[in-house]
Structure 1
């Protein structure tokens, strides 16, 4: 037991030392932005629909603010490859992406590439079957049934080996980690760093918008299979199941030693600063607006860009509508229960004046209508499951499937209004009567109404849970 504990501590210390060493290596280098190997929205595409310095194909769909590498259609794939060859041996790539789908399980996944040659499509997550270089895979589907997905894998290939999908690349990967990257509230970010013979993979799981919430997926020594010069690429694919695979930004920095480029003198730096200030002043005069600090522009742009992609998916909107309508139905039924209790209490006071508990014919019909309405509410709750099952084959919960819930809400509201009218009539009848109130008798109607309210809540929850289980059981992989 002590030996095992000692080995565990040694392993943790070794990992910590690697992380600290990696951070020190990154701090000891200078970053240079490589715009010819990057893209970022907004204004991602030009007037011809092309991405500057990039080419795309397959089912990839570029737009103003993102690239849908592969849409949520069965058995599709898409890809993007940089036109320019990257000639720096040390670099850092930051990718902001989204993987979203209606099902609990998705497929197949997305891949980042840095290879010696470009490949337009293929069986490895929309990328090449064999490649010489680096592949970082975001694998959504558990092909081997080991419950180790979704996961992120790093595979360095020599160009002679094919990726084995049937075992999820087990034995071919140099490192892997279990990370949830589907249906996150914010975009997921990947940071891949190659510096001083080491490859680091950091993951931001999209649970917040803070730039510091990165977790280390792993570190591994690079092999000769990764070329010093190569092409960057992104690909994605779907199978029997499907997800939307979107990339919002792909930012590349080359890494250089701090002492590199010190030939720039202070005079040249001052000259550049003066030229920049002069240009900014002329631009401000042309616009006729007061100048602002550059940091203000950067902060405003970053804030707007971070909140730009916080959209509401279809399944989130439909679920929110169900919950809101359920709340309205519960509130209407509760009001109906309160009005019915008032009617019962009023009847106990008014019945002696009507001759031994007899009620006028019109009022008796209205009470019968209220009772029938309550039965209708229970009946429609029972039919709600059938409506949801009917709309199951149409692609999930739609506005048509929500219609029975809306009808149930209107029925409860009409019943509440009828109860108010009957209560007003009974109040008038009570004011006319001068007979003393009869002895108070214990009634069971209040308990019945409470039971109806509880049944409404339980039935709706059971139907929703049944619907979700039906969706999960239908998720099968046809690879």
Structure 2
């Protein structure tokens, strides 16, 4: 009898562990997914509208992806969530593809935003400069001037309170929190990035090797962000171009619902306690009006012109002299 009771007790204990583990698993994978901040296929409900999302600029919505820019020059576009994020700790997963015909020259890249103001086209990867909030830049522009301590594509983070300007020519070095190299361009499969903000720590991971495994890009402590900002993605092309496609966006809440009052964090001014070590800024060299080769070419052309003019002059002089002699005789 005692053995039966022990067996039943062990069975119930294991059952409770199984149920509890299942519930925890559901919390992490389903209950904490914030559907009002997520974008998954199929995108459209009726017409061209995407529930709780707005598009701007050159953005095109298809059945399989949302193309922020096509592989053409001077394009900019974006997609923005219409609902403010009211959770303090969150994790954002973005499935994307960047691809194009360029082999050695391409650009410019795209950005994932958590900012105060949305739906504003601008010069920073298709959105406004002097923003307030967080930007994660996926920079593919491979034709920069000046010194570099990394190659492209390059992922970096910037926190702004609205007073800092992004220096595109220097890859944002002077305002960068941290960054890493990531060869996500022209893959035959979809690539992923994870942005995790938890207890004032920002962590970025990538899955760009088709291994279904996150690899840490960087981690920065002392990052302060308010609640109530908006998530979005934007991209831009200039003289160089690429297709910038977003396939899905999923935001997960990392807090137990109701454990944090978002009102307590809405007035925080975006800031960061640590920044990456900046490299010296080197301005682009002004174009030389007369290079050595140009001067030599001009000299050679002038010599040729003078020689030809001399030959022609001598020829006509001789003809003129022959004519005078004929008239004399």
Q: TM-score range by the shorter chain?
A: 0.5 to 0.7
SS where residue 79 of structure 2 aligns?
strand
Which residue is equivalent to 1:291? Answer: none
5 Å-filtered alignment, 1:286-365, equals none
Q: Does 1:190 align with 2:193?
A: yes
Q: Does 1:38 align with 2:38?
A: yes
| Aligned with 1:159 (options 159, 162, 185) | 162
Which residue is equivalent to 1:171? Answer: 174
C-alpha displacement at 1:161, in angstroms?
1.1
Which residue is equivalent to 2:70? Answer: 71
SS where residue 256 of structure 1 aligns?
coil
Are the structure 2 counterparts of residues 253 and 63 from structure 1 closer, same or farther at C-alpha, using a change threshold of 3 Å?
same
Which residue is equivalent to 1:131? Answer: 131
* 2:111–2:135 contact (8 Å) kept in structure 1: yes
**For each residue in 1:149-207, what CA deviation from the matched residue of structure 2 results, as whole angstroms up to 9, or x when unmatched?**
210010111111110011111121101101111101211100111111111100011x3
* 1:115–1:132 contact (8 Å) kept in structure 2: yes
SS where residue 39 of structure 1 aligns?
coil
* 2:56–2:119 contact (8 Å) kept in structure 1: no
Which residue is equivalent to 1:93? Answer: 92
Are the structure 2 counterparts of residues 44 and 258 from structure 1 closer, same or farther at C-alpha, using a change threshold of 3 Å?
closer
Which residue is equivalent to 1:439? Answer: none
Q: In 2, distance between residues paired with 1:114 and 1:40?
A: 19
Unaligned runs of 5+ in 1: 1-26, 262-479
Q: In 2, distance between residues paired with 1:150 and 1:242?
A: 14
* 1:111–1:235 contact (8 Å) kept in structure 2: yes
Q: In 1, distance between residues paired with 2:70 and 2:34?
A: 28
Q: In 2, distance between residues paired with 1:54 and 1:61?
A: 13
* 2:207–2:214 contact (8 Å) kept in structure 1: yes
Q: In 1, distance between residues paired with 2:161 and 2:38?
A: 26
The one of the two structures with greater contact order (alpha-carbon pairs below 8 A, sep at least 6) is 2
* 1:127–1:235 contact (8 Å) kept in structure 2: yes
Unaligned runs of 5+ in 2: 1-24, 261-329
* 2:202–2:223 contact (8 Å) kept in structure 1: no
Are the structure 2 counterparts of residues 259 and 232 from structure 1 closer, same or farther at C-alpha, using a change threshold of 3 Å?
closer
5 Å-filtered alignment, 1:37-56, equals 37-41=37-41, 43-56=42-55
SS where residue 169 of structure 2 aligns?
helix
C-alpha displacement at 1:99, in angstroms?
0.2
**For each residue in 1:117-161, what CA deviation from the matched residue of structure 2 results, as whole angstroms up to 9, or x when unmatched?**
214211000011111110000000142352532100101111111
Of structures 1 and 2, the larger Rg is shown by 1
C-alpha displacement at 1:247, in angstroms?
0.6
Q: In 2, distance between residues paired with 1:198 and 1:163?
A: 22
Q: In 2, distance between residues paired with 1:91 and 1:144?
A: 37
Q: Does 1:238 align with 2:241?
A: no
**For each residue in 1:344-383, what CA deviation from the matched residue of structure 2 results, as whole angstroms up to 9, or x when unmatched?**
xxxxxxxxxxxxxxxxxxxxxxxxxxxxxxxxxxxxxxxx
Which residue is equivalent to 1:81? Answer: 80
* Structure with more strand by fraction: 2
**For each residue in 1:196-249, what CA deviation from the matched residue of structure 2 results, as whole angstroms up to 9, or x when unmatched?**
1111100011x32x42x221001002433x222210010000011110000110
Which residue is equivalent to 2:266? Answer: none
SS where residue 40 of structure 1 aligns?
coil
Q: In 1, distance between residues paired with 2:248 and 2:79?
A: 12
* 2:115–2:231 contact (8 Å) kept in structure 1: yes
C-alpha displacement at 1:103, in angstroms?
1.0
**For each residue in 1:409-431, what CA deviation from the matched residue of structure 2 results, as whole angstroms up to 9, or x when unmatched?**
xxxxxxxxxxxxxxxxxxxxxxx
TM-score normalized by the length of structure 1: 0.46
Q: Does 1:180 align with 2:183?
A: yes
RMSD in angstroms over aligned alpha carbons? 2.0
SS where residue 36 of structure 1 aligns?
helix
Q: In 2, distance between residues paired with 1:46 and 1:53?
A: 11
